[in-house]
Every structure is written in C-alpha cells, then in structure tokens.
Amino acid sequence: MSKRIVIQHTKVVLLERIGTPLALGADEGLKVGLELSGLVYSTRGPHLVELSLAGITAIDCAFFEQAVYKHIYDLTVGSAIYVSGIGSPDVARTCELTARALGRYLIVEEDQGYRIVGLDLRAADAMQVEALYDKGLDNSRDIAEAYDMSVANASTRLKDMLQKGLVLRAEVTSATGGYEFRYFPIGHPRERAQ
C-alpha cells in the first residue's frame, strides 16, 4: 500500500485577525505578514497557508505587500501562500496590482478553481500549470511523457515554477529506492499517493 503525502493546510481569516473590513496601512500589514511568515515556515513538508479575504471590503497595496510578500520568500522549502474569499472587485484589483508591481505571482482560489494573477505566465509555464493543476501530473517523468519533452527539461521547468511560487514540492522515496520530487498545485490541498 502506498504511503500518502499529506499537504498541511492552515487557513487565516484576515477579518478575524484585524477586526475590521478595512485592511489598510503598512504597519497593520506588517503584523499580519509576520504571523503568516511564522505559519509558512513553521513546519516541514508540503504546507499551504490560505489567507481568506472574505468580508474585506477595502485593502491597500501597502497592507497587502507587507502581509503577503515582504516576509515570505524562498518558498522552495515546500510551503506556499494563496488567497481566497475575495468578494470585492476593488480588493481583487489591488491584490493583482500589488503582485504585478512587485514582479510576483499570486494564486487566487475561486469557486470554480483558481486564477494566477500578477505577472503574465509564459507559454512554458502555462503548459506546466495545465499539467499540474488541470491534469494532476505531479513529476517530471510524467510531464515529459505527456508533453513530449526530456525529463531534464520538465524537471528544470518545475524547479523554475517552484521558485516563482506557483507549485509546492515534496521529496518522496521512489519505487527504485532513490528519491524523487513530487509537485503539487497551490490552493487545492489534498493527499497524493507516494
């Protein structure tokens, strides 16, 4: 029987943390950012931190930058952050513009799936996103086979996506006794067979 890879998931409801539907100012964003970075780096293994913006009616770029980007970096350790519950078009636009201005991607979970905002995806990244998010392929060998490319090329692209914060990674023991990396979408926590 295969061992399961469990992706840990922590949900932070911003409205509960700040006590107001107005998420404004760098100082308030800093407080949230320090808490989120503590959660992101608190465990080993795949770990998703969901920042729910449900009930937030206004957010400014300074708050969002401090809360999400200033203290969370080097996500290659297998952790990631994504946002959910955006109910206001203005809040959505501010989050997108902040990510774009900082040269970063942002995963936004929605009722029907996900969106990647901020930077525009390159064609190669879009293909990898499709493989991981839509088709459920989770390793370089399967992606290489499905898209007719070398395993080394698929592996390099997956590592690049990891550094961009678009995927999670876990190291598992392969059938041959060695190690291999498995990659997972952000925003869709679930178990995978090892």
pLDDT tens per residue across span 113-145 = 888 999 888 888 888 888 888 888 888 999 999
| pLDDT tens-place string over residues 42-63 | 766 677 888 999 999 999 999 9
Domain with 26 in it: 4-193
Q: What is the pLDDT at residue 8?
A: 80
| pLDDT at residue 53, as a whole number | 96
- Report the predicted TM-score, pTM, of the whole model to 2 decimal places: 0.83
Q: Model confidence over 145-177: pLDDT tens digits? A: 999 999 999 999 998 888 888 888 888 887 788
Give the span between the Cα atoms of 79 and 72, in whole angstroms.
Answer: 10
**Per-residue pLDDT at 1:** 32
Residue 74's pLDDT is 54
Number of domains within the chain: 1
Question: What pLDDT score does 31 carry?
Answer: 92
Summarize pLDDT for 177-189 with one digit per residue, the tens: 888 888 888 875 5
User: Who wins on pLDDT, 144 or 5?
Assistant: 144
> Can you tell me which residue has the tokens 């679930």?
190
Identity at 110, one-letter amino acid code:
E
Could you tell me which of 63, 87, 71 has the C-alpha nearest to residue 36? Answer: 71
Q: Which pLDDT band, with edges at 50, 70 and 90, does 89 fall under? A: very high
- Angle, alpha carbons 149-155-157 (nearest 5°): 80
Average pLDDT over all residues of the chain: 84
CA distance 55 to 191: 29
For position 26, which CATH number holds? 1.10.10.10
* pLDDT category of residue 193 using cuts at 50, 70 and 90: very low
Whether the pLDDT of residue 77 is over 70: the answer is no
* Beta pairing, strands 192-193 & 4-5: antiparallel
